[in-house]
Structure 1
Amino acid sequence: MAIEADTLAPEIELKNQHGETVKLSDFRGEKNVVLLFYPFAFTGVCTGELCALRDELPKFVNDDVQLLAVSNDSPFALRVFAEQEGLEYPLLSDFWPHGEASRAYGVFDEEKGCAVRGTFIIDKKGVVRWTVVNGLPDARDLNEYIKAIDAL
């Protein structure tokens, strides 16, 4: 069961595609966070979603908002994926312990061994304000994120 709105966001500490450690708490008091879980790099729907975010990046990475995209891929795979698709925002690796962050947010599919499409908008106090969880084949609507961010 995915974490619901008005819940304190669980802390996560993961490596990005450059091997740097990124913590959710790094943004507390500074920025709202769009925390986006996706199944795997290099897959069709995921690539489409992440490239759509790339194309609208000023709405998701600015003085007020930070986008963090999390998958169960290794940091090495994420680096190649980011370079190939021109993704400038942090791609975080929930590779080991496998799925730990995805499980903390209730979006890890034990059968498939990967995260489902869960998005959590977290305010500057670290509280989840908005969530959406879609099945593996279903892309999310970026306009819904923008509305939720604007409402903060």
Structure 2
Amino acid sequence: MLEAFSKAPDFTLIDQNGKKVTLSEFEAKKNVVLAFYPFDWSPVCSDQISFYNEMHSLFEKRDAIVIGISVDSMFCHTAFAENRKLTLPLLADFEPKGEVAREYGVYNNKEGHASRALFVIDKNRTIVQSYLSPDSENPGADGILEALDTMNKA
């Protein structure tokens, strides 16, 4: 797993609306929280991503965007986002399966999905915090908000 002070690898993936999203497009503009998660429709993932969506204004106040990434397809993300009324970008690390999760060191080869992991990335594309959570636990947002607050004070 990539650790703090590493340069976040750039990538381009498709979101639930078919739009290409590139990490470097946020450089010098926004702090980014990458939330890798196993699957759209699993109970813990659904709760975690919906929670981040509801907290949109708290992230925006900290000049940050949360981006969800799983190995699900764009079509799965579209249905999931519509069902849960999600507005945050959900990126499809679908083909080649898990390529971005592998670059970040959070692909679970045994299970065939991204592990539940968080990366808080500053506007210079430097990882300031990384956290690997058990797949069965929602990591919440306290650690993310604390990391963003610390970054904004610096």
TM class by smaller structure: over 0.9
Aligned mates of 1:55, 1:21 — CA distance in 2: 23
Question: In the superposition, relative to structure 1, how do residues 16 and 43 fare at CA in structure 2: closer, same or farther (>3 Å)?
Answer: same
Please report how far the alpha carbon of residue 75 of structure 1 lies from its aligned counterpart in structure 2 after TM superposition.
Answer: 0.2
Aligned length: 151
1:148: how far off? 0.7
Q: Using the TM superposition, give the Cα deviation of residue 141 of structure 1 relative to its aligned residue in structure 2, in angstroms.
A: 2.4
Secondary structure class of the residue paired with 2:146 = helix
State the partner residue of 2:34.
35
- Return structure 1 stretches of 4+ with deviation > 2 angstroms: 60-63
Distance 1:15 1:122 in 2: 20
Deviation at 1:62, TM superposition (A): 5.4
SS in 1 for 2:28: coil
Q: State the alpha-carbon separation in 2 of the partners of residues 106 and 71 from structure 1.
A: 14
Separation (CA, whole Å) in 2 of partners of 1:93 and 1:58: 24
Residue aligning to 1:77:
76
When normalised by structure 1's length, the TM-score is 0.96
Give the match's secondary structure for 1:34: strand
Q: Is there any run of 5+ residues in structure 2 with no aligned partner, and where?
A: none
**Residues 106 and 41 of structure 1: CA distance in aligned 2, closer, same or farther (over 3 Å):** same
Matches within 5 A, 1:1-150: 2-61=1-60, 64-150=63-149
Where does structure 1 lack aligned partners over 5 or more consecutive residues? none
Pairwise CA RMSD of aligned residues?
Answer: 1.1
* Alpha carbons of structure 1 residues 97 and 61: separation in structure 2 relative to 1, 3 Å: farther
Aligned mates of 2:125, 2:52 — CA distance in 1: 22
Q: TM-score, normalised by structure 2?
A: 0.95
Contact 2:62 2:148 in 1 (8 A): no
Shift of 1:40: 0.2
Q: Secondary structure of 1:140's partner?
A: coil
The answer to whether the Cα contact below 8 Å between 2:118 and 2:132 also exists between their aligned partners in 1 is yes
What are the Cα deviations for residues 35-86 of structure 1, in whole angstroms up to 9, with x where unaligned? 1100000110000101111221112245721111100000000000001001
- Kept in 1, the 8 Å contact 2:12–2:20? The answer is yes
Taking a change above 3 Å as real, the CA distance of residues 129 and 99 of structure 1, as seen in their structure-2 partners, is same
Percent identity for Structure 1 against Structure 2? 35
Alpha-carbon contact 1:94-1:101 (below 8 Å) kept: yes
Task: State whether residues 70 and 92 of structure 1, in contact with CA within 8 Å, keep that contact through their aligned partners in structure 2.
Answer: yes
Q: For the residues of structure 1 that align with 2:46 and 2:105, how far apart are their CA atoms?
A: 22
Letter of the aligned partner of 2:120 in structure 1?
I
